[in-house]
Amino acid sequence: MFDTMTFTKAGAAVCAALLIFLFSNWAAEALYHTDVAEAHGDEGEDHGPTQGYVIASLEGDAGGEAEEEVEVSFEEVFAAADAGAGERVFNKCKSCHKLDGSNGTGPHLDGVVGREVAAVDGFGYSDAMTAVEGAWTPEELNAFLENPRQDISGTKMSFAGLKDIEDRANLIAYLQEQ
């Protein structure tokens, strides 16, 4: 039933299937190559992906001009902040920070608004954080929470940040109540 010829045919079928897979992968890579810099002959320059075509919008004016984004100051957003919504945003912080006075991976955050930077006893702050002078005002917290590693270069905090200004304002309002 199983002789040498059967094993040879089965081996050849597996090899043929692998070759077909490799050649189709090579052809697909050649057809749908996504490296923009190499595709346009700009070696070493990273231009990022380019838009192939513009999708017309049915909304807006007929001129096709994009609406300008209105810049709202943090003070205005913070004045209308909702601490209840900030409690939901704090769920992103719970894995490292606590509000009961005990430290976790990060220092506890009860009373953080108005507290001196790097002032929690018993917590091992980074050198960059201990070098910061001043207190955690709502404005300072806003800048830090937007992008911690950019605001204080060398911080141990690995959180990417909160991009939405309303989320930051709501979170700071919630922390201010604690």
Per-residue pLDDT of the chain (178 residues; tens, 9 = 90+): 678 999 999 999 999 999 999 999 988 888 887 665 444 445 445 555 555 666 666 665 555 455 566 678 888 888 888 989 999 999 989 889 999 888 888 999 989 999 999 999 888 989 998 999 999 999 999 999 999 999 998 888 888 889 999 999 999 999 999 8
Assess contact for 56 and 45: CB atoms under 8 A.
no
- What whole-number distance in Å separates Cα of residue 142 and Cα of residue 126? 20
- What whole-number distance in Å separates Cα of residue 94 and Cα of residue 138? 19
- What whole-number distance in Å separates Cα of residue 160 and Cα of residue 92? 11
Q: How many CA atoms lie within 13 A of 178 on its CB side?
A: 22
DSSP 135: B
Q: For 74-177, which CATH class?
A: mainly alpha
Helix (H, G, I), strand (E, B) or coil at 116: strand
For the chain, the domains span: 1-65, 74-177
Residue in the structure block whose two tokens are 């001043």: 134
- What whole-number distance in Å separates Cα of residue 101 and Cα of residue 97? 10
Q: Environment class of residue 172 by beta-carbon count within 10 Å: exposed (0-12), middle (13-18) or buried (19+)?
A: buried
- What whole-number distance in Å separates Cα of residue 134 and Cα of residue 2? 81
- At residue 65, the pLDDT reads 52
- What whole-number distance in Å separates Cα of residue 91 and Cα of residue 98? 10
- At residue 57, the pLDDT reads 64
- At residue 45, the pLDDT reads 52
- At residue 31, the pLDDT reads 83
Which residues does residue 116 pair with via DSSP β-bridges, in sequence order?
135
- At residue 39, the pLDDT reads 46
